[in-house]
Homo-oligomer: A and B are copies of this chain.
Amino acid sequence: MGYFRDLREYISALQETGNLITIRREIDKDTELMPLVRWEFRGLPERERKTFLFENVVDVKGKRYVGKVLAASHAASRKVYALALATDPTPEGIVKKWEQAQAYPIKPVLVESGPAQEEVHVGDSLLEHGGLEEFAISISTPGFDNAPYFSAGNFVSRDPDTGIRNIGNYRAMVKSPTRTGLDAKMPKHIRQHWQKYKRRGLPMPVAVAIGPTPNIGLVSVTNVPFGIDEYDIAGGIAGEPVQLIKCKTIDIEVPATSEIVIEGEIPTDYLETEGPFGEFTGYMGPPGPNLVFNVRCITHRKQPIWNNYISQFPPSEGTMMIQFGEEAADYKFLKHDLGIDSVVDAAHVEDAGRMICVIVMKNSTTPQVWQALYGACSRTVLYSKIIVAVDDDIDPRDMDSVMWALCYRMQPHRDIHIAKGKTASLDPSAVPPEEKENLQGRPPTSALLIDATRKWGYPPTSLPRREFMERAREIWEEEGLPALKPKMPWFGSSLGYWPAEIAEEAELALRGEHYVTGEKLAQQRIKV
């Protein structure tokens, strides 16, 4: 079976796998749509979250839209993300698929035509259907965002030196029916292209694909090295080439089955203020000078579907999409680039807005632990403000499990180091917002590194041994009790320290012979 032909086939798959909620009632695109989807991230556990499809969308002035709106389509949950990635929803399945896609990229193919150009609005007819007004672009954070924004726009640009394409997701403030802002500061790849066009004194041609197959969306938000064509990696995910068509007005190729393609250019002789917009940190991000995108042509499928990612406050679809890529990057860096054998997993905690990294180690030595902690701290100045090393009996994606490790496997004075040099970027704890401008690249910031591994043999975990928990689970299920979601650790096991004599006493007790132990202890009475 091949990969999804288009977004619509993917939506059918979401529906068939029980991952889609369809809302048929009339919904205000700005004040109701994103708040409704937001609730699943503030009120449901991760595994119960789903993608939303809105069939009947209006704006505050009563305008109706022909097309539908999709939200949380790429990472409502791990299950949804894994479906989009065509893999199984385990951490291993996800990491492996990304490794494969990068090791075995597949080049795209150019085709003659595609549904993305079923309708074409260009030149005099550009505004016939209202330009960007034709689509139900939503306000993500009503009450604080200052406009509807593109949240799932795949911006395609081309390096004027090498001809190599870049596809990236940048949020874009809608400023007029034919103009948006664009948040793309250095070292974002599109901004690097922009610098090259600027040196040539030329505007930069750009196309935005909305609603291609989800592999395009996934490569757009994931850190692929500069100079690698994301379409190739998307092909690697799909196991088949991405089909591209030529844009109508510029020399850029876009996925043939995209729901909507917006063609235009980014001027290189001026910037405009863009923002504020809700950020993954959990706080509103400030406005600032940024790029501008001038629309020259719009093409789309009939009854086009607008796609929204839900990002902002963590956890969100946005934090999840980034998280998986960051986890894979940390793992690769520690295990392969630094060659730390004892690293077995690296996890970014979903709810923590990219700031907590947990490294899982097996049979580690203290030097390896600290190499891993300093390594993860150095890999990025943006994320991982709190980095914790744990043993492999800890679930790094369960904060309760990690906190248990912190409580009994760490002594602060011995196992903590405060490291220098994280960026203040979007972290409001560095300096007051009013003083941010004056930092000159010298923020008073730091990171917290913690070795929460066991340093010696421990007594067993105080849980029934595995065979008893397994037997009890059979009884549990036979009795029809509520479905269990086991937390690590769920059985007691040896952690290196347990004298043979008391281990034997436990075996006696299991045979109902504990009075033998009682008698032995009576013989050893201590007079006081």
Contact = CB atoms under 8 A, between A and B. Distances in A.
Most buried by B among A34, A289, A414, A428: A428
A147 B514 CA distance: 5
Interface in A248-301: 268-274, 276, 278-287, 289
Interface in A494-528: 495, 497-498, 502, 505-506, 508-512, 514-515, 517-519, 521-522, 524-528
A490 interface: yes
B270 A464 contact: no
Contact of A139 (B289, B446, B498, B509): B509
Given A427-B408, A459-B285, A469 B518 contact: no
A141 interface: yes
A444 B407 contact: no
B458 A283 contact: yes
Given A385-B407, A386-B407, A517-B175, A462 B528 contact: no
Interface in A36-74: 36, 38-40, 42-45, 48, 59-61
A136 to B, nearest CB: 12
The complex is assembled from copies of this chain, and their number is 2
A60 B144 contact: no
A278 B463 contact: yes
Nearest to A143: B465
A31 B471 contact: yes
Given A35-B471, A386-B407, 12 more contacts: A42-B469, A42-B486, A59-B512, A143-B492, A175-B517, A176-B518, A179-B522, A313-B461, A352-B404, A355-B408, A412-B447, A433-B457
Contacts of A147: 505, 509, 514, 517-518
Nearest to A455: B429
Contacts of A418: 412-413, 416
Contacts of A284: 459-462, 492, 498
27 contacts: A38-B463, A38-B472, A39-B469, A39-B481, A143-B465, A144-B492, A145-B509, A147-B505, A147-B514, A147-B518, A175-B517, A179-B518, A198-B528, A269-B528, A274-B521, A279-B462, A282-B404, A283-B460, A284-B461, A284-B492, A312-B462, A313-B492, A355-B406, A409-B429, A414-B444, A429-B454, A432-B497
Nearest to A355: B407
Contact of A411 (B282, B313, B433, B445): B445
A521 B288 CA distance: 11
B145 A270 contact: no
Interface in A12-36: 21, 23, 25, 27, 30-32, 34-36
A289 B527 CA distance: 11
Given A44-B484, A144-B462, A413-B446, A272 B399 contact: no
Interface string A428-458: 1110111000000000111110000011111
